[in-house]
Amino acid sequence: MSSMEERMELGVAAAPGSSSSGLGVGPVGGALDAGPGSAGLAGIQEESGVRRDGSGSEADPDAPPKKRVRQQEGEAGKLEERLYSVLCCTVCLDLPKASVYQCTNGHLMCAGCFIHLLADARLKEEQATCPNCRCEISKSLCCRNLAVEKAVSELPSECSYCLKQFPRSSLERHQTEECQDRVTQCKYKRIGCPWQGPFHELSAHETECSHPSKTGMELMGILDEMDQSHRRELQLYNSIFSLLCFEKIGFTEVQFRPYRTDDFITRLYYETPRFTVLNQTWVLKGRVNDSERNPNLSCKRTLSFQLILKSKVNSALECSFLLLKGPYDDVKIKPVIQHHVFSNDANETEYALLPINDSVECNKLLAAKNINLRLFIFQIQK
């Protein structure tokens, strides 16, 4: 009995790396000897497990390709989310809404970020580079990626009103014309109704709106404000039509070219070559953000210009002038009439803001190699 107990204790205490041969004997739940026999048993178990899985150790070259195990949606993510990370702009990390540009290595940039990179490089007097690979970018080196633009337009996007999914190409039309939850205003807004609400509640509100029943005296204040805004617009266009009736009118295409000052900290400015209008020689100058020290650090950007008379005059020359966009540019410039009396002592006007809509339009001008505008000068006869 003692010898049997010793054998059982040895069987229980046998380590997996034991050199004893054969299969160890032990109680239920005890460890097995890791001898050659145990290795063979493990191999048999592994082979049987492989067979149960349906994959052998040697792949059959003639066998059809096996289907991939479908991953859970939480692990793999939706296809739209994966495409979002592939097709997004490398600068703002958002899906492009319009044109998509790519560098020579294929990195994508939306139109707004691409123009902004070119404008920043112009302000810092540097070569614009791709934010991913640092290769040079410009309007001549980069091209549009039409395949990506088409793919992005077909990706689903959520309506901000009804939260339903629509392709990006039709989302804008849905939000402005079709969505029943889009925000609308009462048709009596022109006479002071402040109501705003979803489209499906519009008809119910308009039947109960109290503004149509207001008296004429109550509506006079609202109509006066509307008349003032219309009067200012009408005055501008009437002034332009009056200037077109002048005897001496001249216009020309001007091209602003970028230059740098000779200061220790150089500043960007623009200047046109000398041009002749109304038998006089002129120059236009422009500056960014009123020549502040680091305009590239500011999100708000403006352009201002100055008209300089270069030729000598015998008497004062009273003129009105305005700048408009050139024939091949898409920048939006509002017409503003400037007025100045030129003489040999006062041959420069004050800097006036170029009447562009916002900083996005300013970046379009800065990103261009040159700024092309059209100048009109009207000489006022005494």
Q: Are residues 322 and 254 both part of a single domain?
A: yes
Q: Output the pLDDT for position 21.
A: 41
Three-class DSSP category at 141: coil
Q: 352: part of which helix (H) or strand (E)?
A: strand 352-353
Helices 111-124 and 359-367 sit at what angle, rounded to 10 degrees?
Answer: 60
For residue 273, which phi and psi values (nearest 5 degrees)? -65, 160
Q: Phi and psi dihedrals of 32, rounded to 5?
A: -95, 150
User: By residue range, what is the domain housing residue 287?
Assistant: 246-379
Helices (H) and strands (E) in the chain, counts: 10, 16
Instruction: Give the mean pLDDT of 39-67.
Output: 47
In a domain, 130, yes or no: yes
> Can you tell me the distance from the alpha carbon of 315 to that of 310, in angstroms, rounded to the nearest whole number?
14
**Alpha-carbon gap, residue 380 to 249, rounded angstroms:** 9
| Pair 104, 140: CB distance under 8 Å | no
Q: What is the pLDDT of residue 60?
A: 54
Taking only the tens place, the pLDDT of each residue in 290-335 is 877 777 777 788 899 999 999 999 999 999 999 998 877 778 888 8
Whether 371 and 260 map to the same domain: the answer is yes
Whether the per-residue pLDDT at 10 is higher than 50: the answer is no
Residues 293 and 360 in one domain: yes
Of the pLDDT bands very low, low, confident and very high (cuts 50, 70, 90), residue 8 is very low
If asked whether residues 150 and 225 sit together in one domain, one would say: no
Residue predicted with more confidence, 163 or 263? 163
pLDDT in tens, 160-184: 899 888 888 888 899 989 999 999 9
Q: Is residue 259 part of a domain?
A: yes
> How confident is the model at residue 23, as a pLDDT?
39
Looking at the fold, whether 310 and 239 belong to one and the same domain comes out as no
pLDDT tier at 265, thresholds 50, 70, 90: low
User: Looking at residue 217, what is its pLDDT?
Assistant: 77
Looking at residue 144, which CATH number applies to its domain? 3.30.40.10
Cα–Cα distance between 124 and 294 in angstroms, integer? Answer: 8
Own/partner pairs, 118-125, CB within 8 angstroms, 24+ separation:
118/366, 118/367, 119/301, 119/362, 119/363, 119/366, 119/367, 120/296, 122/258, 122/268, 122/366, 122/367, 123/268, 123/288, 123/295, 123/296, 123/366, 124/296, 125/260, 125/266, 125/268
Structure tokens at 80: 């739209």
Report d(CA 107, CA 105) in Å as an integer.
Answer: 6
Note the pLDDT of residue 13. 45
Residue with the two structure tokens 């195990």: 69
Query: What is the pLDDT averaged over residues 109-115?
Result: 92
Choice between 320 and 264, residue whose per-residue pLDDT is larger = 320
How sure is the predictor about 42, in pLDDT bands with cuts at 50, 70 and 90? very low
Q: Are residues 227 and 320 in the same domain?
A: no
Of 40-49, 213-222, 303-312, 370-379, the poorest mean pLDDT is in 40-49
Final residue of a structural domain among 243, 263, 285? 243
3-state secondary structure of 348: strand
Residues 222 and 258 in one domain: no
Ranked by mean pLDDT, the top range of 50-54, 74-78, 278-282 is 278-282
Q: What are 76-111's pLDDT values in tens digits?
A: 457 777 888 889 999 998 888 889 999 999 999 999
Tell me, yes or no, whether 308 lies in a domain: yes
pLDDT digits 0-9 by tens, 326-381:
877 778 888 899 999 999 999 999 999 998 888 888 888 888 888 889 999 999 88
| 365 part of a folded domain | yes
Of the pLDDT bands very low, low, confident and very high (cuts 50, 70, 90), residue 136 is very high
Residue 336 lies in a domain: yes
Domain finish residue from 158, 177, 205? 158
pLDDT at residue 367 in the model? 87
**CATH number, domain with residue 361:** 2.60.210.10
Q: Give the pLDDT of residue 377.
A: 95
Side-chain half-sphere of 373: how many Cα atoms within 13 Å? 27
**For residue 125, is it left (φ>0), alpha (ψ between -120 and 50) or beta?**
left
**With left for phi above 0 and alpha for psi between -120 and 50, is residue 145 left, alpha or beta?**
beta
- Residue 18 confidence (pLDDT) above 70: no
Query: Which pLDDT belongs to residue 66?
Result: 52
Angle subtended by helix axes 146-154 and 79-87, to nearest 10: 150
Residue-averaged pLDDT of the chain: 79
Structure tokens at 191: 């006479």
> In the chain, how many domains are there?
3
Verify that 308 and 345 share a domain, yes or no.
yes
